[in-house]
Structure 1
């Protein structure tokens, strides 16, 4: 096809052969073979060299498009091999969606504009299963259990705040340590998927020698904040959640200590496509 386009543009076999850096006989044989495959004559000899037949004019238009498509496909394949294009399937669980996921997606898109990314919510258990089966590529959340074939990176920590509304906000306002919340009902989350943020909150209370007065255990942070706004008690949230406005709810940071929780990224330990390697470089750049 390249030889055909060269002859058509040069108007002769000799000039085309020079431009293609080949001798004329092999070029002529290639054109003859092409005409046999197509079943139509593409060139007519003239006093000026060769001219395209009606079939040749039609084929020239398509040949140029096909060659351009081939070049684009080659570039895209090379970009995919370098991890600069392809599809990345990202999943998250819990409060990672408030800051970590947007920060990652923003940087990933700016760095690899030719790549596509999908973002979905998925429980931690489902994340690990999907990572191992190759359905998803990377996950964000907290407190993942140790799993063969899955690597977990601790990519940072967030301080904890206490969220409260009437009638508990004044009592929470005066708290200096978690033990000061012993009489305040605590809404825990998430329900299921152990170990979890709920387990961490309970362990923090126990570290101070007390047990939390549990008001409820709900599915996620939005349900916990809804009950908090309704006056059911207080709930502990990471700093990324405390930065979001929630009607009627005030967020407090305990004065005497910096309570914190980790944020993690999980991915397959082996058999990672190039686009995932590129994504992990972005994750590494976000580690605090």
Structure 2
């Protein structure tokens, strides 16, 4: 049974007049009458009682009208949903990010994306760089936000932000009373580094910064992620070097302080597979590119 015949039937059933139904459908009346007759022939049932001056629905026609309206409503809803998904206005987008990206620019970008595409389901998760790379290659996620970046020709990469490094210091440390702190003077401090694995990682970046200043830490403690590292700082286990954006969220027991010495900073970048042309991904990168073009 052709869908258009169902639409023709609904128009006649609602108008109870072939002329008005034909005008509503923007077609001539004779072809409409033939379509309804063919529908009745296919179903082997009379849908309209034509024995009176005004046509009426038969009991079979009343049932078909109720069901046909439901079918057409579901189809219209399905078509709208499919169109929205195809345009990236609905559906699901999977974003994973390094833990420290939860501060700074990424929340702003995600908030902007949500405001533009409120019906897209965002699946957010935290991973380290090695997990991000594996998940992106295996298509378990659509977008990876890494620090500083992932390597690979199969990835499209956009740098989101660069920022300096700062010290995270326990609030009872004598370093807080100093007007300035030089890296070279921290040789006797215990440094809390992260992540513990995999390596090389941000921990090695920090060790390289210290090495540039001739600092070999007296003791190093490795935490699995930056949240654990900050927790250890807060209870006085040692100090840490973190991206400046981490300092935007205050943590009891922790002071953040700039330092004198080598400071190459650190970056944050967004990645997707080059062969991922999902509208959701393309729309996300449009938001990213709008953000990165703005002067800050």
Q: One fold, TM greater than 0.5?
A: yes
For the 8 Å contact 1:43–1:52, the answer to whether it is kept is: yes
Q: Give 2:279's aligned residue.
A: 274
Question: What TM-score results when the alignment is normalised by the length of structure 1?
Answer: 0.90
Matching of residue 125 in structure 1 with residue 130 in structure 2: yes
**Aligned pairs for 1:209-228 within 5 A:** 209-228=214-233
Matching of residue 196 in structure 1 with residue 201 in structure 2: yes
User: Which segment drifts farther, 245-254 or 110-119?
Assistant: 245-254
Matching of residue 72 in structure 1 with residue 77 in structure 2: yes
For the 8 Å contact 1:215–1:232, the answer to whether it is kept is: no
Shift of 1:206: 1.8
Shift of 1:159: 2.4
Q: How many residues align?
A: 287
Shift of 1:189: 0.5
In structure 2, relative to structure 1, the CA distance for the partners of 1:35 and 1:114 (3 Å cut) is: farther
Q: Give 1:185's aligned residue.
A: 190
User: Which segment drifts farther, 90-99 or 169-178?
Assistant: 169-178
In structure 2, relative to structure 1, the CA distance for the partners of 1:244 and 1:271 (3 Å cut) is: closer
Matching of residue 170 in structure 1 with residue 174 in structure 2: yes
State the alpha-carbon separation in 2 of the partners of residues 266 and 173 from structure 1. Answer: 41
* Cα RMSD (Å): 2.3
For the 8 Å contact 1:201–1:236, the answer to whether it is kept is: yes
State the alpha-carbon separation in 1 of the partners of residues 34 and 129 from structure 2. Answer: 62
Point out where structure 2 has 5 or more consecutive residues left out of the alignment.
1-5
For the 8 Å contact 1:188–1:214, the answer to whether it is kept is: no
State the alpha-carbon separation in 2 of the partners of residues 130 and 54 from structure 1. Answer: 58
Q: Give 2:57's aligned residue.
A: 52
In structure 2, relative to structure 1, the CA distance for the partners of 1:266 and 1:12 (3 Å cut) is: same
Q: Give 1:243's aligned residue.
A: 248
For the 8 Å contact 1:143–1:195, the answer to whether it is kept is: no
Shift of 1:30: 2.6
Point out where structure 1 has 5 or more consecutive residues left out of the alignment.
none
Q: Give 2:3's aligned residue.
A: none
What SS class does the counterpart of residue 55 from structure 2 fall into?
strand
Residue in structure 2 matching 1:93, options 90, 93, 98:
98
For the 8 Å contact 2:87–2:279, the answer to whether it is kept is: yes
Q: Give 2:33's aligned residue.
A: 28
- 1:183-203 deviation digits (Å, cap 9, x = unpaired): 211110111133421111111
